[in-house]
Amino acid sequence: MSNSAPEARRLHLDGATLLRQLKELGEIGADSEVGGRTRIALTDDEKAGRDLVASWMRELELEVVVDRIGNLFGILRSEADDGTEAPLMMGSHIDSVTNAGALDGCYGVLAGLAVARAYREAGIAPSRSIMVGAFTNEEGIRYQPDMMGSLVYAGGLSVDEALNTIGTDGTRLGDELARIGYAGDLEPGAIVPHEYLELHIEQGPILEAEGIQLGVVKNLQGISWQQVTIQGNANHAGTTPTHLRHDAGFVAASIVTFLRELARDSGGTTLATVGCLSVQPNVINVIPRRATLTVDLRDPDEERLTLAEQRFAEFLEKVAQREGVNISTERLARFEPVVFDSCLVDCIEASANGYGFTNRRMTSGAGHDAQMIARIAPSAMIFVPSKGGISHNPREHTDDVQLVMGAEVLLNVVLNRLGQAQA
């Protein structure tokens, strides 16, 4: 670390290092066939990603701590911090979906490190400790619910319940966490942040479509995840008249169609997705005996989301009766919409305006760790545009200049919050 002369002691965002680290982390778990990377929570590839991020934290001489649910933190203490000061926290996640882009989550974590680096390089201590977090299992595709590490950290789920979660591959989360060496000692939530900031790619089309440089995220929509199991009867495809069928596959298809209508009827506010769908025995000339599917419902308004869930439940009852099948549902996740802290939102907007970056207030369609941390600390988010609005896809892209611009704003907001703004 250089100790610059006083007149040169200004904090600079090192964009080149941020971009290099994004690329390097993005190479872990690379998919050779379809491109992108797959770094699913608590797999060997995700462990490799964690090791790399932890090594970068150590390079910055941050205090590296891991909590019992595997959240990884790097702390840069203020001079006054005797270990009890509530830090300004930044962060996101480094786990990914299958065939992911390189930016979702990683950008927020590495931009947090870029802020810590700016302090280190300038030889200046933050006036309040800063803490950068990589939360466990944000994506929630192997273990549900999603945003699990931050949810546990915020006290919304007990550590033991989370550790006992059984994954889609039959593994126990706590066993996998121990196996990869990230079952830490810190009690989740032991360090309550003073404030929380998360920089993220938009993952949607709005900023690009409107030609706007930066999103000031004021709220985040509610998320409802369920698994639906339909039990019908297998029978011969050539001999069973239509009116005598109890076809689990047909019911699954009706559910998909109903959900699209539900979303359409909402005028665009409710979103509905069936992301997983399987039938058994999955044979060309056998009427499906059983079907399982997942339902992801979202809406920024809690009442509308509840109403959508009710309409869906009523539909399941009706279709089960009509088709003579049994339908059961299991709740996988349910998060209410969140409104971010208005003071932080104002501060982000003022910072963007200060740089002359065009910006707009917006709602996050995706779930984020900020949604959970908002339960225990004032929180807000900053978005940069996503090319073509594409994310959860190897083609996810944000131009380098926009990535650096977002990190500059994050640094500026941190400096403002800490009363260390530079003229």
Residues in contact with Mn ion by CB under 5 A are: 104-105
Looking at residues 2 to 31 of the shown chain, list those that interact with ligand GLV (rule: CB under 6 A): none
Contact 70, 173 (CB under 8 A): no
Contact 165, 143 (CB under 8 A): yes
User: Among Mn ion, ligand GLV, none, what binds residue 146 when CB lies within 5 to 8 Å by partner kind?
Assistant: ligand GLV
- By CB under 6 A, residue 202 contacts ligand GLV: no
- By CB under 6 A, residue 337 contacts ligand GLV: no
- By CB under 6 A, residue 139 contacts ligand GLV: yes
Contact 93, 197 (CB under 8 A): no
Q: Tell the burial category of 375 from Cβ atoms under 10 Å away from its Cβ (0-12, 13-18, 19+).
A: middle
User: Among ligand GLV, Mn ion, none, what binds residue 198 when CB lies within 5 to 8 Å by partner kind?
Assistant: none
At residue 71's C-alpha, the angle toward residues 412 and 200, to 5°, is 40
Q: How far is the CB of 206 from Mn ion (least distance, A)?
A: 16
User: Among Mn ion, ligand GLV, none, what binds residue 95 when CB lies within 5 to 8 Å by partner kind?
Assistant: none
Site map 230..249 versus ligand GLV, x via CB under 6 A: --------------------
- By CB under 6 A, residue 95 contacts ligand GLV: no
Give me 189's structure tokens: 């939530």
- By CB under 6 A, residue 102 contacts ligand GLV: no
Q: How far is the CB of 293 from ligand GLV (least distance, A)?
A: 16
Question: Cis ω on the peptide bond leading into residue 281 (within 30° of 0)?
Answer: yes
User: Among ligand GLV, Mn ion, none, what binds residue 105 when CB lies within 5 to 8 Å by partner kind?
Assistant: Mn ion
Closest-CA residue to 188 (of 366, 31, 375): 375
Contact 81, 172 (CB under 8 A): no
Distance, in Å, from the CA atom of 53 to the CA atom of 274, rounded to the nearest integer, reads 33
Q: How far is the CB of 275 from Mn ion (least distance, A)?
A: 12
- Judged by beta carbon, residue 67 or residue 396, the one nearer Mn ion is 396
- Give me the numbers of helices (H) and strands (E) for the chain, helices first please: 12, 14
Compute the Cα dihedral for 207, 351, 147, 227 and give only its sign. Answer: negative
Closest-CA residue to 137 (of 177, 108, 101, 185): 177
Q: How far is the CB of 294 from ligand GLV (least distance, A)?
A: 11
Residue from 110, 293, 366, 377 that binds ligand GLV (CB under 6 A)?
A: 366
- Judged by beta carbon, residue 105 or residue 189, the one nearer ligand GLV is 105
- Judged by beta carbon, residue 62 or residue 220, the one nearer Mn ion is 220
Residue from 46, 146, 195, 309 that binds ligand GLV (CB under 6 A)?
A: 146
Q: How far is the CB of 21 from Mn ion (least distance, A)?
A: 17
- Judged by beta carbon, residue 121 or residue 299, the one nearer ligand GLV is 299
Q: How far is the CB of 200 from Mn ion (least distance, A)?
A: 6
- By CB under 6 A, residue 62 contacts ligand GLV: no
Give the distance from CA 48 to its chain's centroid: 19
Furthest-apart CA atoms within the chain: distance in Å? 87
Q: How far is the CB of 220 from Mn ion (least distance, A)?
A: 12
- Judged by beta carbon, residue 249 or residue 367, the one nearer ligand GLV is 367
Contacts of residue 347, Cβ cutoff 8 Å, sequence gap at least 6: 380, 413, 416, 417
- Binding-residue total with ligand GLV (CB under 6 A): 4
Distance, in Å, from the CA atom of 177 to the CA atom of 166, rounded to the nearest integer, reads 12
Contact 265, 315 (CB under 8 A): no
Q: How far is the CB of 146 from ligand GLV (least distance, A)?
A: 6
Binding site for ligand GLV (CB under 6 A): 139, 146, 366-367
